[in-house]
Structure 1
Amino acid sequence: MPTPQGATPHPRVKLAVVGGGSTYTPELVDGFARLRDVLPLAELVLVDPAADRLELVGGLARRIFAKQGHPGRISWTSDLDAGVDGADAVLLQLRIGGQAARQQDETWPLECGCVGQETTGAGGLAKALRTVPVVLDIAERVRRRNPGAWIVDFTNPVGIVTRALLAHGHRAVGLCNVAIGFQRKFAALLGVSPGEVELEHIGLNHLTWERAVRVGGEDVLPRLLAEHGDTLAGHLRMPRPLLDRLGVVPSYYLRYYYQHDAVVRELRGTPSRAAEVAAIERQLLEMYGDPVLDEKPELLSRRGGAFYSEAAVALTSSLLRDVGGTQVVNTLNRGTLPFLPDDAVIEVPATVDSTGATPLPVRPLEPLYAGLVAHVTAYEHLALEAALWGRDGRNADRSGGRDAVFSALLAHPLIGQTDHADRLTDELLAHNREHLTWA
């Protein structure tokens, strides 16, 4: 893509990916290779403590660049400080505890009759407690090496992790692929290019609704629902009549709220997503080790994260090249939704440039959605309090930490009962003790 008129071309940049040994990484690398005119990379460094995975993923990454004629240099290291040194931006895609921890997050909440999921409910809180301290430590090391570097967070739960980063003064923006996935889905159904589709996407990370879908300035959402409602309902695994009554398209994650009990029954009767992903990852890593493979395999599409690379390239380019594009990101509320505190992190379209992300003005949010957004925002505030327990000079005693976890669970709309919150607190601590310094 040529440099927009009036914009100053940015020098070729260095980018570091922390969690670069992830099986997601070839999706990201493929995007960097295809979209090199949008984000001209001179160097890409993959950082991960798992040296064996880095060798496999890094080797494939180099072959992808070579096949597509990308001149950038790819390297990898387990030394975080060396990897982020001189980086213009650092992408975070971490999974503390790996798929084994995810398997636990998706299992023990079900024993209490609650959804078992890695970003929502009790499992999501467990992931936040494991992740936030590690991310903040990484961000501090990035700041010491490169005070001006941007941090792009793709690590779940994105809203809570991004809020932690921003609360500690880091130059950070959160990114999720839900919005770009809807944009691509709607464009295909409507027979138009993705760039023609503008979303009125609003809410919190993994708690969003598409209130309008504009093509050429016209809201085509009513037509989209009328003509393709069955397809969308099947994609979301929600009843078609619900979409018709709401008149909006909820994100897939609203299933856990709108159909909680049915989802619990479903999850109890099927293998966990963690087990499925772990099996896919084993196959992918074996494929990545094939020296002939020089493109992302089709199997990677079953891993999740569709269009992650396009979203990451667009966001990073806007931050570093100061072109001022509009993208759906996770950033500070700052009065955008007046019923939320300014330091809440929301997921909305925003103008993104070298100063960061500025949310665009939004229409007032209907009570049906605003109530749930306010409820989950309160939970996220308490979740962050629990994740920071024992840090920043806070009292690190176990009873206080347990109380913080209990409060967050009691506040979550998918839990909200004292017996459930008590039992889930004990289960969470038992399964995550090695990750909690105070437990």
Structure 2
Amino acid sequence: MKLAVVGGGSTYTPELIDGFARLRDTLPIEELVLVDPAADRLELVSGLARRIFAKQDHAGKITTTTDIDAGVADADAVLLQLRVGGQAARNQDETWPLECGCVGQETTGAGGLAKALRTVPVVLDIAERVRRTNPDAWIIDFTNPVGIVTRALLQAGHKAVGLCNVAIGFQRKFARLLEVEPGQVHLDHVGLNHLSWELGVRLGGPDGENVLPKLLAEHGDAIADDLHMPRKLVDRLGVVPSYYLRYFYAHDEVVKELGTKPSRAAEVAAMEKELLEMYGDPALDEKPELLAKRGGAFYSEAAVDLAASLLGDGGSPIQVVNTYNNGTLPFLADDAVIEVQARVGRDGATPLAVPALDPLYAGLIANVTAYEDLALEAALRGGRDRVFKALLAHPLIGQYDYAEGLTDRLIAHNREHLAWA
């Protein structure tokens, strides 16, 4: 089995490598190719990757290349984890929206749109290269904004599934609180990527006992603290929202906070510099503790599970993924991409049935899906008017003067990445 990781020079990669090494019985990789245009980062990351494999007695071969075509050739699956423009572009996404009084974040709002505009054309080019060299390969997208990028891939006819670590993070957290094995915890996870709710927490499987009321009663303070939301809100909802919902439920409060501290991108850039120095140490043969602060917790385990299910029989039959709606949420078009529990196998992902949603959740999902429709149109066809319409449709913006100002700033800060600008 051969896997390729595009964006393999990322400081995230040792997390992925650690999972591949630990879970080799689930996903028996014979060759892993790390693909990245940054040869210097590739050298540091691949060196540590080989040492991790060696320490854990993994017999797989790790190779590197800056050539996408060579890297994806003959791969059974290609995992995308790239960041167009790097942390510098992310820093812009997180700062210039604040000038208009709107949240600055890399996956939602104006910053999220900027990232989508930079990313979609690049990802589609990579996917076409995969299709030319190996049309049977699965593409696993971890590149944000996952929902929009996955829809672009599916719409273009690629074999693709989107992946995020939010759900597996909740699963692991709830399992720890309940003192059970993670595999015993099944989430009624519903929504879009970075716009989701845990409507139930079931023990043993999709039809198991819902212990969410027990979790909230006994551990509500800890859960609310992790979400940076008030306990009374979580109790009132009776569900557990993704922490990204804070950008919607407390937008103005978050904008004030973001204006008083360095951007997350600045923090991550400093962390990445330190991590890369660590990766260059020939004595280091495991992922460092600092990597946990970088983000992406349990990403490797989710990726292994998904790849194993798509390529064989090693993964869990039911997983939270991003895939076509196909009637699952009746108020959305079939070709909308949703994030829900799905049955995953060699033929891809089929969403499980979802009960009728409270309008509180359905309305916001429909609104953000409409924005994502317009965002993808802007990413595929370009043009100032399309950017403006997408921003105007976003529930975190929604006013024409904000949308005008944000459009100008978005184009100004991303001109080098926009072929049409």
- Is the structural similarity TM-score above 0.5? yes
2:46 maps to 1:58: yes
Match of 1:303 in 2: 294
Aligned to 2:258: 267
1:388 to 356, 370, 380: 380
Q: Residue in 2 aligned with 1:179?
A: 167
Find the counterpart in structure 2 of residue 121 from structure 1. 109
For the pair 1:402 / 2:384, whether they are aligned, the reply is yes
CA distance in 1, matches of 2:353, 2:418: 39
Instruction: Give 2:82's aligned residue.
Output: 94
Partner AA of 1:318 in structure 2: S
Counterpart position of 1:397: none
Task: State the alpha-carbon separation in 1 of the partners of residues 113 and 349 from structure 2.
Answer: 26
**Aligned twin of 2:269:** 278
Partners of 1:138 and 1:158 in 2: CA distance: 15
Q: Does 1:319 align with 2:310?
A: yes
Deviations 1:54-88 (A, max 9, x none): 00000000000000000000000001111101100
Code of the aligned partner of 2:119: T
* Match of residue 106, structure 1, among 94, 118, 124: 94
- Please tell me the residue identity of whatever aligns with 2:201: V
Segments of structure 1 that go 5 or more residues without pairing to the other structure are: 1-12, 391-400
Alpha-carbon offset, residue 106 of structure 1: 0.2
Deviation at 1:215, TM superposition (A): 1.3
Query: 2: distance between equivalents of 1:95 and 1:387?
Result: 15
Instruction: Give the letter aligned to residue 359 of structure 2.
Output: P
Once the two structures are superposed, the pairs formed by residues 367-386 of structure 1 within 5 Å of their partners are 367-386=359-378
TM-score (norm 1): 0.94
Which residue of 394, 398, 402 corresponds with 1:416? 398
* Equivalent residue number for residue 337 of structure 1: 329
Q: CA deviation at 1:270?
A: 1.0
Q: Distance in 2 between matches of 1:366 and 1:325?
A: 28
Which residue of structure 2 lines up, in the alignment, with residue 147 of structure 1?
Answer: 135
Matches of 1:157 and 1:87, distance apart in 2: 24
- 2:360 match: secondary structure: helix
Amino acid corresponding to residue 144 of structure 2 in structure 1: N
- Please tell me the root mean square deviation across aligned C-alpha atoms, in Å: 0.7
Query: 1:322 offset after TM fit, Å?
Result: 4.2
Question: Quick one: distance in 1 between partners of 2:172 and 2:120?
Answer: 31
Counterpart position of 1:348: 340
How far apart in 1 are the matches of 2:99 and 2:177? 40
Report the AA paired with residue 17 of structure 2.
V
Alignment counterpart, residue 358 of structure 1, candidates 338, 344, 350: 350
1:234 paired residue number: 225
2:214 equivalent among 223, 227, 241: 223
Local SS of the residue matching 1:148: coil
Could you list the per-position Cα deviations for residues 141-186 of structure 1 after superposition, in whole angstroms to 9, with x for gaps in the alignment?
Answer: 0000000000000000000000000000000000000000000000
Please give the TM-score of this superposition, normalised by the length of structure 2. 0.98
Matching of residue 429 in structure 1 with residue 420 in structure 2: no
Instruction: Report what 2:35 is aligned to.
Output: 47
Does 2:244 match 1:253?
yes
The one of 45, 48, 58 equivalent to 1:70 is: 58
Aligned length: 417
5+ long unaligned stretches in structure 2 = none
Question: Which SS does the other structure have where 2:381 is aligned?
Answer: coil
Counterparts of 1:208 and 1:221, CA distance in 2:
16
Report the Cα offset of residue 314 of structure 1: 0.2
- What is the rounded CA distance, in whole Å, between the counterparts of 1:112 and 1:256 in structure 2? 15
**Distance of 2:349 and 2:169 partners within structure 1:** 20
Alignment match, 1:79: 67
**Aligned residue number for residue 5 of structure 1:** none
C-alpha distance in structure 1 between counterparts of 2:179 and 2:306, whole Å:
25
Partner of 1:398: none
Aligned structure 1 segments of 4 or more residues deviating by more than 3 angstroms: none
CA distance in 2, matches of 1:271, 1:402: 30
Aligned counterparts of 1:189 and 1:437: Cα–Cα separation in 2: 49
Q: In the TM superposition, what is the alpha-carbon distance from 1:365 to its structure 2 partner?
A: 1.0
| C-alpha distance in 2 between matches for 1:23 and 1:342 | 36
Q: Residue 294 of structure 1: CA displacement?
A: 0.3
| 1:291 aligned partner | 282
1:393 matched residue in structure 2: none
